[in-house]
Structure 1
Amino acid sequence: MEEGQGSDSWPGYVDWRNKPAKRSVHGGISAAAFVLVVEVLENLAFLANASNLVLYLVRFMHFSPSKAANAVTNFMGTAFLLALLGGFLSDAFFTTYLIYLISALIEFLGLVLLTIQAHLPHLRPTSCDPSLEPCLEPTGSKEAILFLGLYLVALGVGGIKGSLPSHGAEQFDPSTPRGRKQRSSFFNYYVFSLSCGGLIAVTFVVWLEDNEGWEWGFGVSSASMLLSIVVFLVGSTLYRNKVPDGSPLTTMAKVILASICKGNGSKTASNAIVSVATSPRESEKAINEEMKTKMSSSIETSTSLTGELKFLNRAAAASPSGHNQSLVCTVQEVEEVKLVIKILPIFACTIILNCCLAQLSTFSVQQAATMDTKIGKLKVPPASLPVFPVVFIMILVPLYDRFFVPLASRITGIETGVSHLQRIGAGLVLSIVAMATAALVETKRKHSWARVGHPEPGNPPLPDTFLWIAFQYLFLGSADVFTLAGLLEFFFTEAPMSMRSLATSLSWASLALGYYLSSVLVTIVNKATSKHGHAPWLSGRTLNDFHLERFYWLMCVLSALNFVHYLFWAARYRYRSQKTHNSSDVPTQE
């Protein structure tokens, strides 16, 4: 019986005790609310240290600025890339419930280790005055404790990011319009929860670290992480947890290998392929009984092969006698692999957006430091610039979910207001606007610098207010609301049920690759612009010697080209609802 067809059971789901889940008890808004609160606490713990970590490494661990920057970039990139591992384990072997708990405990242990090191002077390098003597970096056990703590945190963050979004989204019934709307709202408020945690992190906790000591910052993060575990456990009786379906990577490898082997096979195999393509029922007879049983018990089933990615259809053909029968693939497995392959170009098109985000978070703070940072009598630290996009996201998400979506739904007939791909595309357009704005603001700043007679470092700041920098942050914050929430929902709804957590993790992998690409791009630009005796765009004694506005224009052009590339794939993408009729979990975006 399909979901929503009169049964109190949730097929394919269990409760926290591994017993069959029930509609009357498990899932719904109440269960998802616990997930949102947990995300506030978890992101607070993560960002409180990540946003200020470079300062800790330079001032207290005596790293050089370049080594500290690389350490932070590697830490952030690794944490987000490990979301793929968390998503894979959630789909293949464990429930999202268990993966979250294990990952949260790992992150908590890492934070406790960092707290102990920050509190005990003998676990840190000896204090020194860099103007009088060289400061020694941590070595041996001190360095080992630092990096063990950091990468335990990274491993925990990866597991949480790879499991928690899909765990929350699984709480809603996708067979009803109300359930689909609630699930879409969940992704919007998931981004809202990220921002809530980030706001507390970059204000209160960062102030503690700068004024009371880093042991306080790490300590608050540890307490927040522990509290998130408690909150998550309190909601245990409400959660429904998807039963793992085995390794999705194994399925993908088998389908691709089978399509290659059978494509190079005998004439008999070729005839079987034609039979599969023209008569799906005949191909089903060639599938062994164990596979048929597994397929028929699945909530999502495909009964015929589609015409997309036709070369993979060969994998569902019966193997000729004498060939390896382990390469026989069900129609369902072939169609699931097609779904994953089809979403990869969309994933690739979001990396440039995250590259823009990484560049702005690097240079914008330095720009603000040369400008007037006063708001009335209040002097705002340049490092607090991230407050602007965070606050803007917190304002924009409720407005988007409560006002824009219902209004757009009446016009478009789409439950989510606009389709997932339209929403992602809107975010990409906003990233282009953000980079153009950044280039114009930097041009204005450089003109002011020229007008006041090229002031040297340490002189009074430029007369322009740093609030000009806030505009590019606001556009990027808007892009985040559209693209991150849109990506999470798109990957979750379009991926096969057996690969949802892994697919959702691609959103975080895109962020990691954006950070890595930003470092590579700076190196390439400097090498390319330093030829023929010219000074590199992104080097000099001060930021005023940089040609940062040219770099921003370059990023604007790359973002525009990336958007054209995105339109190519988005225009050709067919949602599952356009070709699937007996799946109970398909988006209604036809």
Structure 2
Amino acid sequence: MGAYQLDKPNDRDSFFNWYTFVSNVCLIVSCTAIVYVVDNVSWAWGFGISSAANTLGLLLLFSSTRFYRQMKPQGSPFTGLGRVVVKAVKNRGILLSQNPGVYFQGPENNKIPTLPSKFFRFLNRAALKTERDLETNESTRKSGQLCTITEIEDLKDLIKIVPLFTSGLLVRVPYVIQVSLGILQALKMDRSLGPDFKVPAAIIVAFIHIHLYQRRFHRSNLISNLDMVVLALVEAKRLKISRMHNLQNEDNGAEVPMSIFWLVPPLALVGMGEAFHLPGLVSFYYQEFPDYLKNTSVGVVSLFYGIAFYIGNALIHVIHRSTDWLPENINKGRLDIVYCLITIIVGVNFCYFLLCGSLYKYKAAEIVEDGVSLSEE
């Protein structure tokens, strides 16, 4: 809804950056202030403050509705895409033609007939004019039983995005790993800040969400690799200190005399990687999705992150079941090897990402005022 209110590419980019900034400020507050309230006051107060904040947000949203640019309801955007596949299967026995006149044109192509692209040519059959289609009346045409070249090209645009979508999933895995395992590390480190205060272990997540706002996908991949390497080095040092003090033999694992703030540099690197990745990811999907799916494109980012969390947690489960690197007492484990393994996986994925990026052809790139297009990112 937010980006739909803006027309200029620069304004939309600013919106995506601010959207990311505000989202992560909220995450920092929840990982620090709310966690502190839960630990030191009560769970009821923690949930109460969160509920009050959500209620206030809803009131602000609904009170501003009359100022928004409203979209006219047009039915499900996925109906036409599904119809393209069904129609292409029905027309599978019909030969394709190089004559633009035998294809139903979209509303943008009424004046100048065009041919559908050669990518996924099988789908082009969905727009072929058959004798039965030519006999349909105007009401049937408006009801959406016919497919146009525009609908076919929209589906092809989505198919072309799939490889880049999959290549980005593993970029998010280091974040998932560190949210899950980083807190375990923090619990076994010295969290003292002064004589009477202990830093909550969950506060380390806040460092991940301190972002520098730029957009470069390839930098995000490189930083994801770098932060895993740094985390492996920090964990190797923590295990060395643990062995020096013979702490690995204690039943529940003792705190290692090593400051929790050793985790700040690698977690800050994760935050930088997120900063390069998230705003650019939202902008990329918003630009490359069909016009009637642009609002849906922002929701795809949430789907993207949800799948990445499942992958990350599944990876942790597999490592836990098949190796002794993640025991109950991580002072006995080899969390540093886990981080090295993730580094290798993300490195291989980076090569896959470069391949997908080199083969991907952008839609007509929007040239912003400073002369840089999104396709250059």
Given the two structures, how large is their TM-score scaled by the length of structure 2?
0.87
Query: Within 1, Cα distance between the matches of 2:60 and 2:295?
Result: 22
Q: Look up the equivalent residue of 2:5 and give its one-letter code.
A: Q
Q: Look up the equivalent residue of 1:538 and give its one-letter code.
A: L
Contact 1:319 1:328 in 2 (8 A): no
Query: Within 2, Cα distance between the matches of 1:205 and 1:197?
Result: 10
Aligned residue in 1 for 2:129: 318
Contact 2:35 2:202 in 1 (8 A): no
Contact 2:31 2:205 in 1 (8 A): yes
Aligned residue in 2 for 1:360: 178
Deviates more, 1:564-573 or 1:250-259: 250-259
Contact 2:286 2:294 in 1 (8 A): yes
Aligned residue in 2 for 1:146: none
Aligned residue in 1 for 2:348: 561
Contact 1:208 1:216 in 2 (8 A): yes
Deviates more, 1:368-377 or 1:183-192: 368-377
Query: Within 2, Cα distance between the matches of 1:321 and 1:460?
Result: 77
Contact 1:492 1:501 in 2 (8 A): yes
Which segments of 5 or more consecutive residues in structure 1 lack a partner in the other structure?
1-166, 174-178, 401-417, 530-535, 581-586
Give CA deviations for 1:371-420 in whole Å, capped at 9, x if unaligned. 22234555312121112223x22xx23xx4xxxxxxxxxxxxxxxxx6xx
Give CA deviations for 1:24-72 in whole Å, capped at 9, x if unaligned. xxxxxxxxxxxxxxxxxxxxxxxxxxxxxxxxxxxxxxxxxxxxxxxxx
Q: 2:358 aligns with which of 571, 576, 583?
A: 571
Matched, 1:494 2:285: no
Contact 1:302 1:331 in 2 (8 A): no
Aligned residue in 2 for 1:380: 199
- Tell me the CA shift for residue 307 of structure 1: 2.9
- Tell me the CA shift for residue 304 of structure 1: 4.5
- Tell me the CA shift for residue 241 of structure 1: 2.2
- Tell me the CA shift for residue 320 of structure 1: 4.5
Residue pairs, 1:231-380, within 5 angstroms: 231-263=60-92, 265=93, 269-270=94-95, 273-275=96-98, 279-280=99-100, 282-284=101-103, 286=104, 295-296=107-108, 304-321=115-132, 328-377=146-195, 378-380=197-199
Query: Within 1, Cα distance between the matches of 2:375 and 2:174?
Result: 30
Q: Look up the equivalent residue of 1:237 and give its one-letter code.
A: R
Aligned residue in 2 for 1:220: 49
- Tell me the CA shift for residue 297 of structure 1: 11
Q: 1:463 aligns with which of 222, 245, 257?
A: 257
- Tell me the CA shift for residue 211 of structure 1: 2.4
Closer/same/farther in 2, CA of residues 528 and 505 from structure 1, 3 Å limit: same
Aligned residue in 2 for 1:99: none
Closer/same/farther in 2, CA of residues 515 and 324 from structure 1, 3 Å limit: farther
**What secondary structure does 1:463 align onto?**
strand
**What secondary structure does 2:5 align onto?**
coil
- Tell me the CA shift for residue 250 of structure 1: 1.5
Aligned residue in 1 for 2:278: 484
**What secondary structure does 1:512 align onto?**
helix
Q: Look up the equivalent residue of 1:435 and give its one-letter code.
A: M
- Tell me the CA shift for residue 338 of structure 1: 0.9
- Tell me the CA shift for residue 491 of structure 1: 0.7
Contact 1:347 1:507 in 2 (8 A): no
**What secondary structure does 2:97 align onto?**
helix
Query: Within 1, Cα distance between the matches of 2:361 and 2:151?
Result: 18
Query: Within 2, Cα distance between the matches of 1:322 and 1:296?
Result: 20
Q: 2:243 aligns with which of 450, 472, 485?
A: 450
- Tell me the CA shift for residue 528 of structure 1: 3.9
Query: Within 2, Cα distance between the matches of 1:588 and 1:555?
Result: 29
The runs of at least 4 consecutive aligned structure 1 residues that moved more than 6 Å come to 322-326
Aligned residue in 1 for 2:326: 538
- Tell me the CA shift for residue 324 of structure 1: 11
Residue pairs, 1:44-55, within 5 angstroms: none
Contact 1:315 1:327 in 2 (8 A): no
Deviates more, 1:246-255 or 1:563-572: 246-255
Deviates more, 1:457-466 or 1:378-387: 457-466
Query: Within 2, Cα distance between the matches of 1:506 and 1:569?
Result: 19
Closer/same/farther in 2, CA of residues 546 and 319 from structure 1, 3 Å limit: farther
Aligned residue in 2 for 1:36: none
Query: Within 2, Cα distance between the matches of 1:337 and 1:380?
Result: 50
Query: Within 2, Cα distance between the matches of 1:253 and 1:489?
Result: 25
Query: Within 2, Cα distance between the matches of 1:379 and 1:310?
Result: 63
Give CA deviations for 1:298-343 in whole Å, capped at 9, x if unaligned. 9xx9954223232222222113548997763101101111111111
Query: Within 1, Cα distance between the matches of 2:114 and 2:61?
Result: 39
Given the two structures, how large is their TM-score scaled by the length of structure 1?
0.57
Aligned residue in 2 for 1:193: 22
Contact 2:37 2:45 in 1 (8 A): yes
Query: Within 2, Cα distance between the matches of 1:503 and 1:553?
Result: 33
- Tell me the CA shift for residue 354 of structure 1: 2.4
Query: Within 2, Cα distance between the matches of 1:527 and 1:459?
Result: 20
Query: Within 2, Cα distance between the matches of 1:525 and 1:457?
Result: 21
**What secondary structure does 2:91 align onto?**
helix
Query: Within 1, Cα distance between the matches of 2:247 and 2:46?
Result: 39
Give CA deviations for 1:85-128 in whole Å, capped at 9, x if unaligned. xxxxxxxxxxxxxxxxxxxxxxxxxxxxxxxxxxxxxxxxxxxx
Query: Within 2, Cα distance between the matches of 1:477 and 1:302?
Result: 49
**What secondary structure does 1:203 align onto?**
helix
Query: Within 2, Cα distance between the matches of 1:310 and 1:527?
Result: 45
Query: Within 1, Cα distance between the matches of 2:292 and 2:272?
Result: 32
**What secondary structure does 1:577 align onto?**
coil
Closer/same/farther in 2, CA of residues 546 and 572 from structure 1, 3 Å limit: same
Give CA deviations for 1:127-178 in whole Å, capped at 9, x if unaligned. xxxxxxxxxxxxxxxxxxxxxxxxxxxxxxxxxxxxxxxx1111111xxxxx
Contact 1:259 1:311 in 2 (8 A): yes
Closer/same/farther in 2, CA of residues 504 and 460 from structure 1, 3 Å limit: closer
Q: Look up the equivalent residue of 1:379 and give its one-letter code.
A: K
